[in-house]
């Protein structure tokens, strides 16, 4: 038996490139949703906090009692909506605010301890009072530390649950959109989701939760002495104004800089993806100059924003100890005048430090706040504008193999011109169709539409009379074997790729490899079927990758096969193995669509379809096609 890595079942063999990531992310989402414990409205906040403190000591992972998550893909017929896109839903926000209130209330323990020690214990010389005060203050500080840990765990779990709920949906949607026309897949939503997750899991969010309780400490300062409250209030106003000034000066610089940096990254990805052509044709210098312009412009704007932010942070670092010194100075003056005790002076200094700490932290981390705010805004706009809740269709009976293409048109999103224009034909079960035509005629686009990798703009494809949209992804992956023109293997072992990253049996992998005549080739590798390959196919040659991709298409004996230029990288031996595999698939009754430029594969077809300019010029029996060719010659 093969000792290969197991993975969750893939959802769609047609889109093999994303199967592994989607399956793993959906498993994480299901596990995160399983861990959620709904809040008990009948219990008070004090009871929930007490239970959480006990749980904190008993286990490392605390439950989150407020995240409204739903499965990444609705169950068939459930008609459920999308998950809540709020990072802090209402119940979770109420819980965090309540815990923050108790934390900030307990922060008063330290200044009160100082006040009592200096004003009561020292003058009286009572050791017993000092011991009891110290024990009480220590207990309160311990409770505050446990609440801090609980609040941080809430934030971490909220971020993880939010990411686990949305990442599979975003990846699924982006994978469906990718590759249409000449557009490159846009990974910005996934990056934005990661930025939001990091922000929610950071201490900056907790500083925001502490900021609303700053008035609590200011009131305590006013109670000690009005002048102490005035000094602290002025300090808080100055630091808040500094934060607003930082926002006004850096927001546009960061946004424009990151936009330009994103353009340079897209260009760099393009260069790396086409590095052979860039190097061979001497394009590197010209491309590098264009990349450098976008990179330098973005770096200049980001540098200006960073300089401004550094200046504001430095100013905040200067003002904070200055204000601390000012309140001590005012306190000392009041002590000299007999209006304040020494203990109240020390307590006032501690209280102002607590009041200003969250404001200073917000100012110091303003860049990450702007990035998270922008990312969350883009993510909400993307979710509101592009994502839709789609009920998963019910399973269909196992198909016999008939295919009908009815008025299919596909538009190029970049130009608006049709790649396919009202293409219609039908195949009976067990028939083989060869699709031929000049380059750019739309042959590969037609293959992707038939395989379900690309949704047509108009028209539809029916498998056994059922529209493709009505076949659930998990079932369509079993009934269609697709071999794209660029092969599109995934990082993993050869066995994983052949099995489409399913938890399949070793026998099924061997059967598919034998059907593609690739077993001998794989067994000659040092690690055999356990040989790890990259998405580019290394260490396999293009021809070997194509034969592995053929085995993947044949895995599970699907009744529909769509092969796009399956012999483009094959030598004579590989092409012979391909022809044998096609003949064996036909013998078991599979319906096959082959996109080809070579006459050798025409002999395997019952019918031929000629595409020119996205339109059908001929569709009929192979003999009729060959007769037309002979007449034209």
Question: Which string of DSSP letters, residue by residue, matches 3-52?
Answer: -----PPPS-GGGGGGHHHHHHHHHHHHHHHHH-----TTS-HHHHHHHH
Asked if the model's pLDDT at residue 473 lies above 80, the reply is no
Average pLDDT score over residue span 267-291: 72
33-37, 189-193, 377-381, 460-464: segment of lowest average pLDDT: 33-37
The kind and range of the H/E element at 59 are none
Q: What is the pLDDT of residues 66-92, one digit of tens each?
A: 332 333 344 333 334 555 555 555 677
Q: What is the pLDDT of residues 354-386, one digit of tens each?
A: 888 888 777 777 777 777 877 877 777 777 666
Closest CA to 346 of 329, 328, 334: 328
- Give the separation between CA 360 and CA 128, rounded to whole angstroms: 39
- Residue 138: CB atoms within 10 A of its CB come to 12
Q: Which domains does the chain have, with CATH numbers?
A: 30-193 (no CATH), 203-364 (1.20.1560.10), 403-632 (3.40.50.300)
Question: Residue 310: which pLDDT band, with cuts at 50, 70 and 90?
Answer: confident
Asked if the model's pLDDT at residue 192 lies above 90, the reply is no
- Give the separation between CA 89 and CA 98, rounded to whole angstroms: 14
Q: What are phi and psi of 64, to 5 degrees?
A: -105, 125
Name the percent of the chain lying above pLDDT 70.
Answer: 80
Q: What is the pLDDT of residues 530-570, one digit of tens each?
A: 888 877 767 888 888 888 888 888 898 899 999 998 888 88
The kind and range of the H/E element at 469 are none
Asked if the model's pLDDT at residue 256 lies above 90, the reply is no
Question: Residue 398: which pLDDT band, with cuts at 50, 70 and 90?
Answer: confident
pTM of the model: 0.59
Report helix, strand and coil shares of the chain as percent, to nearest 5.
60, 10, 30
Closest CA to 173 of 477, 391, 382: 382
398 prior amide bond cis, ω within 30:
no
């Amino acid at each position: 038996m093969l000792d290969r890595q197991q993975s969750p079942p893939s959802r769609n063999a047609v889109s093999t490139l994303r199967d592994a990531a989607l399956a793993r992310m959906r498993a994480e989402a299901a596990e995160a949703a399983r861990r959620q414990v709904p809040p008990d409205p009948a219990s008070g906040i004090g009871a929930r906090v007490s239970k959480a403190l006990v749980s904190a000591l008993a286990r490392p992972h605390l439950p989150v009692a407020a995240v409204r998550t739903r499965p990444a893909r609705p169950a068939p017929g459930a008609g459920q909506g999308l998950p809540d896109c709020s990072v802090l839903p209402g119940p979770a926000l109420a819980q965090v605010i309540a815990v923050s209130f108790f934390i900030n209330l307990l922060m008063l323990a330290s200044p009160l301890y100082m006040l009592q020690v200096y004003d009561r214990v020292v003058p009286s010389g009572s050791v017993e009072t000092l011991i009891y005060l110290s024990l009480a203050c220590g207990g309160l500080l311990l409770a505050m530390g446990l609440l801090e840990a609980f609040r941080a765990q809430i934030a971490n779990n909220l971020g993880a649950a939010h990411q686990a709920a949305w990442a599979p949906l975003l990846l699924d949607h982006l994978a469906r959109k990718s590759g249409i026309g000449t557009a490159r897949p846009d990974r910005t939503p996934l990056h934005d989701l990661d930025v939001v997750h990091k922000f929610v899991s950071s201490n900056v969010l907790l500083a925001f939760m502490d900021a609303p309780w700053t008035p609590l400490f200011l009131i305590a300062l006013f109670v000690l002495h009005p002048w102490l409250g005035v000094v602290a209030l002025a300090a808080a106003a100055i630091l808040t104004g500094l934060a607003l000034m930082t926002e006004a000066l850096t927001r546009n610089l960061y946004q424009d800089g990151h936009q330009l940096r994103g353009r340079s990254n897209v260009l760099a990805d393009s260069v790396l993806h086409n590095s052979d052509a860039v190097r061979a044709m001497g394009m590197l210098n010209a491309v590098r100059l264009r990349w450098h312009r976008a990179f330098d412009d973005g770096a200049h704007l980001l540098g200006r924003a960073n300089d401004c932010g550094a200046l504001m942070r430095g100013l905040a670092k200067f003002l904070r100890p200055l204000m601390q010194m000012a309140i001590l100075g005012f306190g000392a003056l009041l002590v000299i005048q007999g209006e304040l005790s020494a203990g109240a002076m020390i307590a006032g200094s501690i209280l102002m430090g607590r009041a200003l700490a969250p404001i200073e932290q917000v100012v110091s981390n303003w860049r990450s706040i702007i990035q998270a705010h922008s990312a969350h805004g883009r993510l909400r706009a993307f979710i509101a504008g592009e994502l839709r809740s789609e009920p998963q269709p019910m399973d269909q009976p196992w198909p016999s193999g008939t295919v009908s293409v009815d008025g299919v048109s596909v538009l190029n999103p970049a130009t608006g011109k049709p790649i396919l224009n009202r293409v219609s034909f039908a195949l009976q079960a067990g028939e083989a169709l060869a699709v031929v035509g000049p380059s750019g005629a739309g042959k590969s686009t037609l293959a992707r539409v038939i395989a379900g990798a690309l949704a047509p703009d108009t028209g539809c494809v029916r498998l056994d009379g059922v529209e493709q949209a009505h076949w659930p992804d998990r079932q369509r992956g079993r009934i269609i074997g697709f071999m794209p023109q660029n092969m599109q293997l995934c990082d993993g072992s050869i066995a994983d790729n052949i099995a489409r990253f399913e938890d399949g049996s070793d026998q099924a992998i061997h059967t598919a490899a034998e059907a593609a005549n690739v077993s001998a080739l794989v067994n000659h590798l040092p690690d055999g079927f356990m040989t790890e390959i990259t998405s580019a196919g290394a260490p396999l040659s293009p021809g070997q990758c194509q034969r592995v991709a053929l085995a993947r298409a044949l895995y599970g004996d699907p009744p529909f096969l769509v092969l796009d230029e399956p012999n483009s990288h094959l030598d004579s031996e590989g092409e012979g193995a391909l022809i044998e595999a096609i003949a064996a698939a036909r013998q078991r009754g599979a319906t096959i669509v082959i996109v080809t430029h070579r006459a050798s594969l025409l002999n395997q077809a019952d019918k031929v379809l000629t595409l020119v300019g996205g339109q059908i010029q001929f569709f009929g029996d192979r003999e009729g096609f060959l007769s037309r060719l002979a007449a034209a010659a």
